[in-house]
């Protein structure tokens, strides 16, 4: 089964062809980062326009790279939420038009379910059940993937998402947008034990996260340094911040794995590309004898291959979308 997948929930216009949910035949991503960098973040209106300009070219390229025509595709999958409403509508409209014109089934996909599914591409042996740490720009969830498309949410963030915390801290020290990769690189020059930052625990909810206190501590540290005229040690600061985030993510995941006796762990979302997180999780899983999977760097951040994988399992479950498929900006995980 070959699926043409489209992703346009934020600032990447992406299309891919995925075979049987696991094999990537093509994966085209047009990133708008250069455009949005001027504004220090994604401007929804500008993103929508850029999606309109690129969507046809990107989908055509995905077919060409796969060496296939639209007629040879079995279904079209598209992200319909969560994300920005304008950008989502571009992808949904394009997918509907192509599916209708070519007489192919249409499958609406949850973007976060897509992030999780990137692991099926990364590891051909990975099968539910497994525990997945989802850490993206807008989400931080610890979930039990009970079956394909079936999730049990164990924990979530009470305030900022992990990626959001990276982006805000990066902006505060002048590293620019998007902050995650810049902090990752800068932290390598710093001492992660230089500054002691809080590791938040949410009372009564062992798997929940909170990053706003940590973010405030980073800002307070800078304000204090400015008042006393001290120079801000940017590398040490971001390395210490990163270590605080990574420690909490790893310890919560390990605790859930123990409590639920789950020996297979996966990571998903843009922050899963973080080198310190990948290394710390790898060491923790090695010590505990757990199997760990994470996507290659390019499949952690937004892409359409992951949507093609998720769409395949929806297809196998017999789920199809109608021509009334609409964008759902605040779609929740496991919701249809």
Which residues participate in the annotated binding site for substrate? 134-138, 167, 180, 184, 274
Judged by CB under 5 A, the stretch of 10-18, 45-53, 152-160, 281-289 that binds Mg ion is: 10-18
Residue 132 interacting with Mg ion (CB under 5 A): no
* Nearest by Cα to 189 from 296, 280, 276: 276
Q: Do the Cβ atoms of 71 and 98 come closer than 8 Å? A: no
Structure tokens that stand for 321 in this block: 């979308």
Residue 269 interacting with ligand ATP (CB under 6 A): yes
Residue 164 interacting with Mg ion (CB under 5 A): no
In the sheet that 130-135 helps form, which strands lie side by side, from edge to edge? 150-156, 140-147, 130-135, 264-268, 291-293
Judged by CB under 6 A, the stretch of 61-69, 71-79, 177-185, 323-331 that binds ligand ATP is: 177-185
Q: Do the Cβ atoms of 57 and 334 come closer than 8 Å? A: no
Cβ distance to ligand ATP smaller for residue 66 or 170: 170
Least distance in angstroms from the C-beta of 302 to Fe ion: 4
Name residues contacting ligand ATP, limited to 302-321 (CB under 6 A).
302
Residues with Cβ < 8 Å from 84, sequence gap 6 or more?
A: 9, 10, 42, 44, 47, 48, 329
Can you tell me which residue has the tokens 């964008």? 327
Residue 167 interacting with Mg ion (CB under 5 A): no
Least distance in angstroms from the C-beta of 161 to ligand ATP: 6
Cβ distance to ligand ATP smaller for residue 91 or 270: 270
Measured over the CA atoms of residue 312, residue 317, residue 318 and residue 319, the dihedral's sign is negative
Cβ distance to ligand ATP smaller for residue 140 or 321: 140
Cβ distance to ligand ATP smaller for residue 136 or 264: 136
What is the DSSP track for 231-279? PP-HHHHHHHHHHHHHHHHHHHHHHHHHHTT--EEEEESGGGG-HHHHH
Least distance in angstroms from the C-beta of 174 to Mg ion: 21
- Residue from 136, 140, 157, 293 binding Fe ion (CB under 5 A): 136
In the chain, which residue ranges form alpha helices assigned H by DSSP? 33-37, 44-66, 85-102, 111-122, 162-172, 179-187, 212-228, 234-259, 275-288, 297-300, 305-316
Q: Do the Cβ atoms of 99 and 105 come closer than 8 Å? A: yes
Residue 10 interacting with ligand ATP (CB under 6 A): yes
Site string for ligand ATP, 102-121 (x = CB under 6 A): ---------x---x------
Residue 299 interacting with Mg ion (CB under 5 A): no
Mapping DSSP to helix (H, G, I), strand (E, B) and coil, where does residue 173 land? coil
Residue 184 interacting with ligand ATP (CB under 6 A): yes
Least distance in angstroms from the C-beta of 109 to Fe ion: 12
Neighbour count for residue 127 (Cβ, 10 Å): 12
Cβ distance to Fe ion smaller for residue 84 or 94: 84
Judged by CB under 5 A, the stretch of 20-28, 93-101, 133-141, 239-247 that binds Fe ion is: 133-141
Q: CA-to-CA distance for 177 and 168, rounded, in angstroms?
A: 9
Structure tokens that stand for 218 in this block: 């980073």
Judged by CB under 5 A, the stretch of 43-51, 130-138, 189-197, 243-251 that binds Fe ion is: 130-138
Cβ distance to Fe ion smaller for residue 42 or 175: 42
Footprint on this chain of Fe ion (rule: CB under 5 A)? 136, 302
Q: Which residues bind ligand ATP (CB under 6 A)?
A: 10, 82-83, 111, 115, 136-139, 163, 166-167, 178-181, 184, 269-271, 273-274, 301-302
């Amino acid at each position: 089964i070959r699926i043409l997948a489209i992703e346009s929930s934020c600032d990447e216009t992406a299309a891919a062809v995925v075979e049987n949910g696991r094999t990537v035949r093509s994966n085209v991503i047009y990133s708008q980062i250069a455009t949005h960098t001027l504004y220090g973040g994604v401007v929804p209106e500008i993103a929508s326009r850029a999606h309109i300009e690129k969507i046809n070219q990107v989908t055509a390229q995905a077919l060409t790279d796969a060496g296939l025509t639209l007629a040879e595709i079995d279904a079209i999958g598209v992200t319909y939420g969560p994300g920005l409403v304008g950008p989502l509508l571009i992808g949904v409209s394009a997918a509907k038009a192509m599916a209708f014109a070519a007489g192919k089934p249409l499958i609406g996909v949850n973007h976060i379910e897509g992030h999780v599914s990137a692991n099926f591409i990364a590891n051909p042996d990975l099968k539910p059940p497994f525990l997945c740490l989802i850490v993206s720009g807008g989400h931080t969830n610890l979930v039990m993937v009970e079956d394909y498309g079936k999730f049990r949410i164990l924990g979530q963030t009470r305030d900022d998402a992990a990626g959001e915390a990276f982006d805000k801290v990066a902006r505060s020290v002048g590293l620019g947008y998007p902050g995650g990769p810049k902090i990752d690189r800068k932290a390598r020059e710093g001492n992660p034990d230089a500054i002691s930052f809080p590791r938040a625990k949410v009372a009564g909810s062992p798997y929940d996260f909170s990053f706003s206190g940590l973010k405030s501590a980073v800002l307070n540290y800078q304000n204090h340094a400015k008042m006393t005229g001290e120079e801000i040690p940017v590398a040490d600061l971001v390395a210490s911040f990163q270590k605080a985030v990574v420690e909490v993510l790893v310890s919560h995941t390990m605790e859930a794995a123990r409590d639920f006796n789950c020996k297979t762990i996966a990571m998903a979302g843009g922050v899963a590309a973080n080198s310190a997180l990948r290394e710390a999780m790898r060491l923790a899983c090695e010590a505990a004898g757990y199997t760990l999977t994470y996507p290659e760097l390019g499949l952690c951040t937004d892409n359409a291959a992951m949507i093609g994988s998720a769409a395949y399992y929806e297809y196998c479950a017999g789920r199809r979308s109608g021509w009334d498929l609409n964008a759902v900006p605040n779609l929740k995980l496991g919701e249809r």
